[in-house]
Structures are given as C-alpha cells and as structure tokens.
Amino acid sequence: MQHPSATPAETPPEAEVLYLARCLTPVGPYVILTSGVSVVWISPEDDAARPVSRWQRWGARVLEEPEPGRAAVMQLEEYFAGKRRRFSPHLDLRGTPFQCQVWGALLAIPYGETRTYLQIAQAIGRPGAVRAVGQAIGANPLSIVVPCHRVIGSDGSLTGYGGGLERKRHLLELEARVALPSN
C-alpha cells in the first residue's frame, strides 16, 4: 500500500492511464479503477461518474478495459460469496497523511466487527479529531476493501456511508453471518 503525502489534486498524474472494470454484486454494480499495478478506486457504479471525471480532470486517461482489474473483481466476488475476509491487491491510497492514517486504522478493523468514529480517532492518537476522522472516512477511495462500512455511530447506529445505508447494512450483515463460528 502506498501512502503518498500529497493528494492527487496537488500532484496531477501526468498522462496516467487508468483502467476501468465493473463487478456485479448483490448490492449493485461496482466500478474499479486500476493503474494496471494497483487499485486506486472502488465505488458503487451509481457514484462512478465522480471519480472518473476527477481523474480525467487531473489529466489521467480512463480506459474501459476490465483485464487489469480482474484480480480485484475476483476478490470482490469472493467477498460477497462469503469466501474472502481480506483483500490482497496492491492498494494505491492517495490522500493526505491524515487521511492515510485514518484509512490504515480502517484496515485494522477485523472482519465482522465495527468501530465508532471516536474509536478510530483514538486509534490514531487524535481523540479530539472525530469530525476530521469522519471526513477522511468519507473520502475513502476504496469502498469495501478499506472497510469504512465497519464504522458506526457512538450509539451503535448506522451513520453516513457513501454507498448508502442499505448497502452498509447489507455489508455488515454479510460479515456478521460469515464471521459466526460454524459448529
């Protein structure tokens, strides 16, 4: 996983080529952008225009070519089939140092468990930065793989999720079912 210190807006990807793949899931289609080596974006397809246009504004060429994202697609399919708890593609997390720190804390949340925004803020040593943590979580470029869906409100309620609360509920229920010990 790469944690650069600058956002893509600060360092435009000169002539970077990204490849777009799609994955059909029980909660709707997802779009995956890869550099050919690393996964740079995963989001529900109904939110795909935003990242694609953002990368294009930064000078990247986005090509509809599923092959480079094939491994990520297979891993998402395995996740939804209850056969995968961790993802192993190389992740290219592009964000500020603070965002990358928050995303790293999300990656540490075990499958089938949840954490509150406050717990994430405490985990990164910034207990007073709960709102900033929420903003960093909202900027997560790798939905599901960087498990922002595992973050809940301090009262245990489902709160903000870019993919919608129904998707979040489905993901948490899937993980709770799969995480149950089998007899």
Residues classed as catalytic: 148
Helix (H, G, I), strand (E, B) or coil at 145: coil
Identify which of 60, 11, 54 has the alpha carbon closest to the alpha carbon of residue 35.
60
Per-residue H/E/C for 106-128: HHCCCCCCCEEHHHHHHHCCCCC
Helix (H, G, I), strand (E, B) or coil at 25: coil
Question: In residues, how long is the chain?
Answer: 183
The C-alpha atoms of residue 70 and residue 168 are separated, in whole angstroms, by 24
Helix axes 97-107, 130-138, angle to 10 degrees: 80
122, 154 Cβ separation under 8 angstroms: no
Hey, which residues does 30 pair with through a beta bridge? 23, 44
